Structure 1
Amino acid sequence: MALADGPAAGEAKVVWYNDPVVRGRIFQGLTLAFVVFLTWGIIHNTAVNLQSRNIAQGFGFLSTTAGFDIAQSLISYPQDADYGRAILVGLVNTVLVAVLGVILATIFGFIGGVARLSSNYVVRKLATSYVEIVRNVPLLLQIFFWYFGVLRVLPGPRDSIQPIPGWIFLNNRGLIMPQVTMTKLTADAMFYAVLAAIVAILVLRSVFRKLQERTGTQAPVFLISLAVLIAFPVVAYLATGAGITLTAPAKSTFNITGGTRVIPEFMALLMALAFYTGAFIAEIVRAGILAVSHGQTEAASSLGLKPNNILRLVVVPQALRVIIPPLTSQYLNLTKNSSLAVAVGYPDLVSTGGTVLNQTGQAVEVIAIWMVIYLGTSLTTSAFMNWYNAKMAIRER
Structure 2
Amino acid sequence: MNEASAPPVRQRGWAGLTSFLNRDSTRGNVIQGLTLLFVLCLIVYLGSNAAYNLDRLGMMFGFDFLSSTSGFDISWSLIPYDPSMTYWRVFMVGIVNTLVLSFNVILFGTIIGTIVGILRLSSNPLVAQLARCYVEVVRNVPLLIQIIFWFTAVFSALPPPRRGYMLGDLFFLNNRGFYFPSPQGDISFFWFLGAFVLFAAAAWLLRRKAQQARINQTGNHKALRTGWLVWGVALVLACVIGNGFIEWSVPALDGFNLEGGQYVPVAFGAAFVAMTVYRSAAIAESVRAGMESIDRGQHEAARTIGFSRFQTLRLILIPQAIRAIIPPLANSWLVAVKDSSLAVAIGFPELVSVFMQTSINQTGRAIEIISMVMGFYIFVSLTISYLLNKYNARVQYKVM
TM-score (norm 1): 0.91
- Cα distance in 2 for partners of 1:114, 1:230 equals 31
Residue 220 of structure 1 deviates from its aligned partner by: 10
Which structure 2 residues correspond to residues 162-201 of structure 1 after superposition, within 5 A?
A: 162=166, 164-201=167-204
Which structure 2 residues correspond to residues 1-397 of structure 1 after superposition, within 5 A?
A: 9-10=7-8, 13=11, 15-19=16-20, 20=23, 21-162=25-166, 164-215=167-218, 228-236=230-238, 238-239=240-241, 242-353=244-355, 354-397=357-400
- Cα distance in 2 for partners of 1:217, 1:194 equals 28
2:101 partner letter = V
- Cα distance in 1 for partners of 2:16, 2:67 equals 60
Count of paired positions: 393
Residue 253 of structure 1 deviates from its aligned partner by: 4.5
Q: Aligned pair in 2 of structure 1 residues 308, 12: CA closer, same or farther (>3 Å)? A: same
Larger mean CA deviation between 24-33 and 164-173 belongs to 24-33
Residue 113 of structure 1 deviates from its aligned partner by: 0.4
Residue 73 of structure 1 deviates from its aligned partner by: 1.1
3-state secondary structure, aligned to 2:129: helix
Consecutive unaligned residues in structure 2, runs of 5 or more: none
- Cα distance in 2 for partners of 1:282, 1:63 equals 45
- Cα distance in 1 for partners of 2:230, 2:176 equals 37
Residue 383 of structure 1 deviates from its aligned partner by: 0.8
Contact 2:252–2:260 (CA under 8 A) maintained in structure 1: yes
Residue 212 of structure 1 deviates from its aligned partner by: 2.8
Q: Aligned pair in 2 of structure 1 residues 23, 121: CA closer, same or farther (>3 Å)? A: closer
- Cα distance in 1 for partners of 2:396, 2:214 equals 22
Residue 184 of structure 1 deviates from its aligned partner by: 2.5
Contact 2:182–2:249 (CA under 8 A) maintained in structure 1: yes
3-state secondary structure, aligned to 2:217: helix
Deviations 1:297-334 (A, max 9, x none): 22222221111111111111111111111100000000
1:154 partner letter = L
Percent identity of the aligned residues? 40
Deviations 1:26-74 (A, max 9, x none): 4433332222122111101101110110112100011110011111111
Q: Aligned pair in 2 of structure 1 residues 220, 180: CA closer, same or farther (>3 Å)? A: same
Residue 227 of structure 1 deviates from its aligned partner by: 5.8
Contact 1:16–1:22 (CA under 8 A) maintained in structure 2: no
Deviations 1:206-238 (A, max 9, x none): 4323423431556896x8766644531431554
Contact 2:210–2:223 (CA under 8 A) maintained in structure 1: no
Aligned residues: CA RMSD: 2.5
Residue 191 of structure 1 deviates from its aligned partner by: 4.1
Deviations 1:236-279 (A, max 9, x none): 55446621222321124422222211101111111111110100
Q: Aligned pair in 2 of structure 1 residues 172, 226: CA closer, same or farther (>3 Å)? A: farther
Larger mean CA deviation between 200-209 and 128-137 belongs to 200-209
Q: Aligned pair in 2 of structure 1 residues 11, 171: CA closer, same or farther (>3 Å)? A: farther
3-state secondary structure, aligned to 1:299: helix
Q: Aligned pair in 2 of structure 1 residues 148, 240: CA closer, same or farther (>3 Å)? A: closer
1:10 partner letter = P
TM-score (norm 2): 0.91
Hey, which bits of structure 1, 4+ residues long, moved more than 6 A? 218-221, 223-226
Residue 202 of structure 1 deviates from its aligned partner by: 4.2
Contact 1:194–1:232 (CA under 8 A) maintained in structure 2: no
Larger mean CA deviation between 375-384 and 120-129 belongs to 120-129
